[in-house]
Copies of this chain bind each other. A is one copy, B any other.
Amino acid sequence: MNDDKIEVPKNSPNGTVETRFFDFNNFVLENGDILPQIRIAYETYGKLNEKKDNGVLLCHALSGDAHVAGISKETGKLGWWEFMIGPGRAFDTNKYFIICSNVLGGCRGSTGPSTGDPRKNAPYGAEFPDITIKDMVNVQVKLVEGLGINKLFCVSGGSMGGMQVIEWAYSYPDRVVTAIPIATTFRHSAQQIAFNEVGRIAIMSDPDWNNGNYYSGKKPENGLAIARMIGHITYMSDDSMEEKFGRRTRQAVKGAKKLNTGFEVESYLRYQGEAFVKRFDANSYISITKAIDFYDAGNNQDLIKHFYNTNIKFLVISYSHDWIYPPYQSKEIVKVLKFAQADVTYCDISKSYGHDAFLIPHEEQGVLIGHFLDNNYQKYLNRAKA
């Protein structure tokens, strides 16, 4: 998500929303470790119907949180996918009960490296166990069950959120009716791993990181800001950066060249870095990017077998100018699902924005998702009658 200083209208058809918490104990991670206490921050929108079959789970990306829409009671800010959620919007709150939770390992209310380790009465820090995308999904399963929902009508999300969508479809096929993975991949490429790794190295090279034990002192803000800046460049496209900044400098340049005059893109990046460190934890950044890099849904042949004749309806979306999660990765998902004889629709949306496109208000994504959900919801409601 951008930390742009956009003047946002302080009203929303979703009204003011309060983050709530779901707690449970003794959660077994994929690697066998046990987290004795789990707290998951979540928000909901719309109403769960009597049959409890209108639940839609939205999964956030690396730097997101549970506050997906409406005005936050805590911060006064609009949610990260506001334009997609509300009455008459793609995720229509007149029809669906929308759930969004902060991931396990996060730092926005859910259990993660910055929260207290009940065994030592201090934050986990670097001792927080290695988590996986599947662990994140397993925690969401608990939350959804806790809300009384047995089967979700839809799971959707972009980037890391899309990996969670794939994992839901893979591991819990009987609990998902439709799945919408956006700008995502079955597994990170070497290039995607490399960019994340340099970010992690930047954090760990910051003396203030202190092997992850910084919660009582100065935080590794320089390192985390650098990681964020690297990430941010990859979220934009060459074209969108050119449109937004070009070679404009911050002050009028007198004389042919003044090397101490900064380019606008430079101060923008610095601002993004500075804004990010105020709201994000460096250990969470390391923990979550590791989970992303190690995610591997499986090799394509196994995936074809696994998804063969699945009942889940898929809508796969990519963005033309997304070079960090390029369309060829989404096409690979589509190809596997097609070979598995699955019901899959694919659209590459042509936008000059890069990876961030799914978070930037535009019409196509909403129309595609809205129509896909409407059609399938009608069929789903009629399933008993058929």
Contacts and interface: CB of A to CB of B under 8 A. Distances in A.
Given A132-B257, A222-B205, A257-B31, A269 B238 contact: no
Chain A: number of interface residues, binned into ranges: 35 or more
A293 interface: yes
Contacts of A323: 238, 323
Q: Is the interface of A mostly helix, strand, loop or mixed?
A: helix
B191 A241 contact: yes
Interface stretch (A40-48, A65-73, A242-250, A305-313): A242-250
Contacts of A236: 191
Interface in A255-307: 256-260, 263, 265-266, 269-270, 273, 290-291, 293-294, 296
A183 to B, nearest CB: 15
Contacts of A31: 257-259
A370 interface: no
Given A187-B247, A226-B226, A197 B266 contact: yes
Contact of A233 (B130, B194, B258, B266): B194
A105 to B, nearest CB: 11
A6 interface: no
Interface of A: 30-31, 130, 132, 187-191, 193-195, 197-198, 201-202, 205-207, 222-223, 225-226, 229-230, 233, 236, 238, 241-242, 244-247, 256-260, 263, 265-266, 269-270, 273, 290-291, 293-294, 296, 323, 326
Nearest to A296: B247
14 contacts: A30-B257, A130-B257, A190-B245, A190-B263, A194-B241, A194-B265, A194-B269, A197-B263, A198-B229, A201-B225, A226-B226, A230-B230, A257-B294, A259-B294
A137 to B, nearest CB: 14
Given A30-B257, A256-B30, A202 B190 contact: no
Contacts of A187: 247
B198 A269 contact: yes
B294 A194 contact: no
Nearest to A129: B259
A187 B263 CA distance: 13
B242 A191 contact: yes
